[in-house]
Structure 1
Amino acid sequence: MTSPRPDLHAGLGEARTGLTVLAAAVFAAVTTELLPVGLLAQISDAFEVSNGRAGLLVTAYAVMVAVLSVPLALATRRMPRKPLLLVTIGGYAVSNVVAALAPTFGVLAAGRVVGGITHALFFSVCIGYAARLVPPHLTGRAMALAAVGVSGGLVLGVPLSTAIGTAFGWRVAFASLAVLVTLVLVLALVVLPPVVATGDDHSAHRGRRRDLATVVVANGLTYLGTYVLYTYISVLLLDSGAGDRWVGPTLLLFGACGLVGLRVAAAQLDHRPRASAIAVPALMAVGIAAVAMAYPHLVPVVLTGMVWLAAFGPAASLYQSASIRTSASSPETAGAWINASSNAGIGGGAAIGAAVMDQSGLTSVAWTAAAIVASAAVLALLSRAAFPPRR
């Protein structure tokens, strides 16, 4: 007698509420990480430092996440999940309060250090939490719902916080975000059920650790290629003829496309995981290559950029769920590796993009980005064990 196959189209049921709270926490986390990007000029003027030095508030944050994610996940793997999640959310509140009240640039940087440490641990805990709220066959859909917070932070969180900072000052922007994080903390305390973690990676299937490594590399390549170009998206739009006042709305449009792409792909992450692992980076590469061919004509650049970033929308959920399915480690440790490789890709992509742009211009930046992302699709195509079809 064979056991019944799980219904891949079943709803998330009671887990949906908890996953929505996790999405709100992710929204606050992404907004906290990227908020200084829109306020660098104000911050540099306030403390009389260069824009480059102020930019270290973002760069150092990403480096800390890349370096600390896995060690912190391993060090805390035996701790109760819900209290640990609440501590990490509280860490974001502390980071933003310190930033809002900072009397010197050094204190502001210290607040960002608190945020970077928090961020390094938060995503591994959050990914593991989301995976434990649902049965294994719904992992992809759970990751997709939680990952709405990523696109939401990019689409709404950062632009709205930047608008608040522009209207009322950068300190008010950080203070407002601290209030939002506190509300999310209260919701998580009241709504989220406790979950049980194994606390031990030694029970994992050691034979699949190579598969986990493959998923992590594919994720890193996808983020590396994306941020080779996306880091300079405003430069791309301005050089294509967009006015300054249209850059913000265009970025909102791109972010909305990412949400649409995530919504369309969500069910397929569980139903067709291998096809998704090939199709997502492949479609991204096609979109970026089309951007390269369309530049410097504004309308085609925007249209092809919509394709690229719509395909990027489900990428985070794709690799998070794929890493957990390898069963090579606990969901928290798998999530930590994904978090680390994503941030390494973001930082490395910005550096590669800058070097290529200085040497060859934006068209070469776009082609370089397309080639790197395409390699992630090739890796998924060749790695059937790491990205298996649903059995």
Structure 2
Amino acid sequence: MTTRTRSALPLSALLSLATAVFITCLTEILPAGLLPAMSRDLGVGESAMGQSVTVFAIGTAVTAIPLTTATAGWPRKRLLLVSMAGFCVANTVTALSGDYPLTMVARFVAGVAAGLAWALLAGYARRLAPAGLEGRAIAVAMSGIPVALSIGVPAGTYLGKAADWRIAFLVMSGLTVLLLGWITLAVPERPGEEPGLSGDGSTQGVGREEGAGREDGAGREDGAAAPLLGALRVPGVVPVLFVTSAYVLAHTILYTYISTFLDRVGLGGRTDLVLLAFGVASLLSVWTVGARIHRALRALTLGGVLLIGTAAFLLGVGAHQPVLVYVAAVLWGLGWGGAPSLLQTAVGEAGGEHADAAQVLLVTLWNVATAAGGLVGGLLLDLLGTHALPWTVLVLLAPAFAATFAARTHGFPAAMGTSREVAPQG
């Protein structure tokens, strides 16, 4: 059964998408491991440098819906290549810039590229997968996230200590050039959407990029907001979006300033190792989620929230004890690594025939929460100090756990397919 499943998935194409996810994710979060060095070189405080994550997320949040609408008719491969080229340019400018405003402009451009990428990557993976394997295809594509966490950020942090943080961004630019060739050779083309049409006429195996096209078609006929409002009225969508917002906000508040947090508790020299522990655990998490997501979506989501909450508690009470910090990093990674696959799958299942618009809403709220996390974390850092960060995470995760637990019928059912089957009744 395992061999047949693997052979049925177009692994070369999916792995190239996973690499695109890797670059997208790493571009966003790499400053978290390089914050002290970047702030010194650019002559700003660490909370100000943390806004490089905020402005990236703002670029994604404010452009994801309008850009995916405007490019709905574009062939999907062309759009993916354009977004990856955007990362190459933005990361090169970031590496070469000695000016804080110019760096922030480059980060905003990178966020715009991410808006295009996130709006089509999960859906592209779904469309490349055989029926019934869409969840695993998304898990393969989204594995780029824990790989970025487990390899990319620790490696970038090490380069920042051993040589220069700029080299990390230049290495990403070079990797992106190689990826452009891989996508060109390995990823099958998929057409954009024609106005008023819905792709192949099926809602099965459809992800964000296809949904953006259908939303565009529906928007031209019924108003751009109609598909989004329709998705919000489907039972289960709002709980998933709420959990996503709280989950991502809590994570980003701590992760953006983790190097500063560790530095101020005397563990700054071990940042790369702590991030490595976090990343390896994240990789294990995404494998576990990929294997069990169709049977245990609810349990995995609840478990993820509890794991991150436990990690935050340990960092709050034992940040000066290296062993507890490493344990917290592992628990945090186990709770976070599978979160993108869990939340994207949950909103797609809950949305039913409105899954496309629900995915666009999730992309937007994810990045709004990321932007807010960088901003709120910076304010907490300046006003209360690093000790406030893990306790804030706990406060945010409590309602996320409660909302997940309450959404047992719609949003986070025990078994996949339950929410979609009952959604039309609402």
1:272 and 2:296 correspond:
yes
CA contact (8 A) 2:274 2:325 kept: no
**Match for residue 25 of structure 1?**
20
Alignment of 1:1-391 (within 5 A): 10-11=5-6, 13-39=8-34, 53-102=48-97, 105-135=100-130, 137-196=132-191, 198=199, 199-201=213-215, 202=218, 206=230, 209-238=234-263, 242=267, 244-325=268-349, 326-329=351-354, 331=356, 333-356=357-380, 364-383=388-407, 384-388=409-413, 389-391=415-417
CA contact (8 A) 2:9 2:130 kept: no
| Pairwise CA distance, 1:24 | 0.8
| Pairwise CA distance, 1:88 | 0.8
Partners of 2:158 and 2:381 in 1: how far apart?
29
Output the amino acid matched with 1:29: T
Partners of 1:238 and 1:285 in 2: how far apart?
22
Q: Which stretch shifts more, 61-70 or 99-108?
A: 99-108
| Pairwise CA distance, 1:164 | 3.8
CA contact (8 A) 1:282 1:374 kept: no
Partners of 1:336 and 1:309 in 2: how far apart?
26
Partners of 1:183 and 1:102 in 2: how far apart?
23
| Pairwise CA distance, 1:183 | 0.5
Partners of 1:306 and 1:218 in 2: how far apart?
22
Q: List per-residue Cα deviations over 1:311-369 (Å, max 9, x = no partner).
A: 111011111112222235454x4443333222222332344445556666655542331
Structure-2-length-normalised TM-score: 0.78
- 1:271 is paired with a residue whose SS is coil
Partners of 1:126 and 1:195 in 2: how far apart?
12
Q: Which stretch shifts more, 367-376 or 199-208?
A: 199-208
Partners of 1:61 and 1:334 in 2: how far apart?
22
CA contact (8 A) 1:140 1:318 kept: no
Partners of 1:354 and 1:120 in 2: how far apart?
23
Partners of 1:359 and 1:53 in 2: how far apart?
13
CA contact (8 A) 2:32 2:259 kept: no
Task: Identify unmatched segments of 5+ residues in structure 1.
Answer: 1-5
Partners of 1:276 and 1:136 in 2: how far apart?
23
Partners of 2:256 and 2:33 in 1: how far apart?
13
Partners of 1:63 and 1:240 in 2: how far apart?
30
Partners of 1:328 and 1:373 in 2: how far apart?
30
Partners of 1:49 and 1:223 in 2: how far apart?
26
| Pairwise CA distance, 1:45 | 5.6
Output the amino acid matched with 1:192: V
| Pairwise CA distance, 1:256 | 0.8
| Pairwise CA distance, 1:126 | 0.7
Partners of 1:111 and 1:31 in 2: how far apart?
15
- In structure 2, relative to structure 1, the CA distance for the partners of 1:228 and 1:135 (3 Å cut) is same
| Pairwise CA distance, 1:170 | 4.5
Q: Which stretch shifts more, 304-313 or 334-343?
A: 334-343
CA contact (8 A) 2:86 2:110 kept: yes
Q: List per-residue Cα deviations over 1:273-314 (Å, max 9, x = no partner).
A: 233333322333234334434444332232133223211110
CA contact (8 A) 1:274 1:387 kept: yes
Coordinate RMSD, CA, aligned:
3.2
| Pairwise CA distance, 1:386 | 1.9
- In structure 2, relative to structure 1, the CA distance for the partners of 1:153 and 1:87 (3 Å cut) is same
| Identical-residue share of aligned pairs (%) | 29
- In structure 2, relative to structure 1, the CA distance for the partners of 1:60 and 1:375 (3 Å cut) is same
Output the amino acid matched with 1:275: A
| Pairwise CA distance, 1:153 | 1.5
| Pairwise CA distance, 1:173 | 3.4
| Pairwise CA distance, 1:230 | 3.0
Output the amino acid matched with 2:254: L
- 1:327 is paired with a residue whose SS is helix
CA contact (8 A) 1:99 1:174 kept: yes
CA contact (8 A) 1:240 1:301 kept: no
Task: Identify unmatched segments of 5+ residues in structure 2.
Answer: 194-198, 200-212, 220-226, 418-426
- In structure 2, relative to structure 1, the CA distance for the partners of 1:382 and 1:188 (3 Å cut) is same
